Structures are given as structure tokens and as C-alpha cells.
Amino acid sequence: MGEDCSVWPMTVIRGDMHKIRIGDRCSIQDGSVLHITHASDFNPGGWPLILGDDVTVGHKALLHGCTIGSRVLVGMGCTVMDGAVVEDEVIIGAGTLVPPGKRLESGYLYVGSPCKQARALSDKEKTFFKYTAANYVKLKDEYLNASE
């Protein structure tokens, strides 16, 4: 886990049979489940779970054996499945299902079940990634300072 990350209540991060890497300034919000895909005859290498920097994972998201780039917002209740790759600067709308092996191209909003590319992100939306990551660093720091 990188620097300035926050993991909020009722979250499970289970790297029992493969690796999990969480980059800097990531926020994993309440009730999320982060897991890997183990190696087997059906999937010899398995799938690790990789998160880049400045990733905000909304409440109750499920990330399973996937790769999430940097500056990504994973909406509340999303499911991102085995082998999926989310490139940098992507918003995944609340409740979206990213099927196994799907690649989400940088610079777009994705919604639906299964997900579809909805539209290009605005410049304002792209600045939100760093804002929300910094906001959760601030909340984490306030919590830690209050408990001293």
C-alpha cells in the first residue's frame, strides 16, 4: 500500500493467493471488497489486483483480479472483474459492471451492466481526480490527528 492511503470501515482487502498493490493517495471506501484471482489450470498465472495512484474506490465496490490505472474514480457499487484493465483517467459510474477481460480506454465515463463507453470526460472532471484523492488524504489525516 502506498503513501497517504485510506481504508474505511467494513472494507476487505484479501491477497491470500496472489499480490495486491495499492498506489499512493488511494481511498478505499466503506464496505468495498478487493480480492485477487488465484492461479489454476483454468488461469495459469492468476490475476493480481493492481491500483495506480490517486484512485478513489466508492462505497461497496468489488474489485477482483483487475488492474486499475491512476486517477480513476470507481463509483459506488461497481464490480470490476478478473483480467479487466482500466486505463488512467477513467470514471466508472455507480453500479457499473466491468466484465472479465474488458479494457476501459483512458479519458471516458463508463456506465451500465455490462459497461459501455458513455462519453469523453470534460477537463473539469479530469481535475476532480486529484481533488478527491487530496480530500480523502485530508480526511484520513484529520481522523489520525483527532485520535492522538
Q: Convert the pLDDT of each residue in 1-44 to its tens digit.
A: 999 999 999 999 999 999 999 999 999 999 999 999 999 998 99
The confidence score (pLDDT) of residue 148 equals: 67
Question: How much is the mean pLDDT over the chain?
Answer: 96
Q: Which three cell numbers stand for residue 63?
A: 474489485
Q: Work out the average pLDDT over 70-80.
A: 98
Q: Which three cell numbers stand for residue 64?
A: 477482483
| Calpha distance 54→72 (Å, rounded) | 7
Q: Work out the average pLDDT over 45-65.
A: 98
Residue with cell 472532471: 125
| Calpha distance 88→135 (Å, rounded) | 19
Do the bridges between strand 108-112 and strand 115-120 make them parallel or antiparallel, or are there none, so unpaired?
Answer: antiparallel
Give the helix/strand (H/E) hosting 86: strand 85-86
- Put simply, whether the predicted model's pTM sits higher than 0.85 gets the answer yes
DSSP secondary structure code for residue 65 in this structure: S
Q: Which fold has domain 6-143?
A: UDP N-Acetylglucosamine Acyltransferase; domain 1 (2.160.10)
CB atoms within 10 A of CB 41: 5
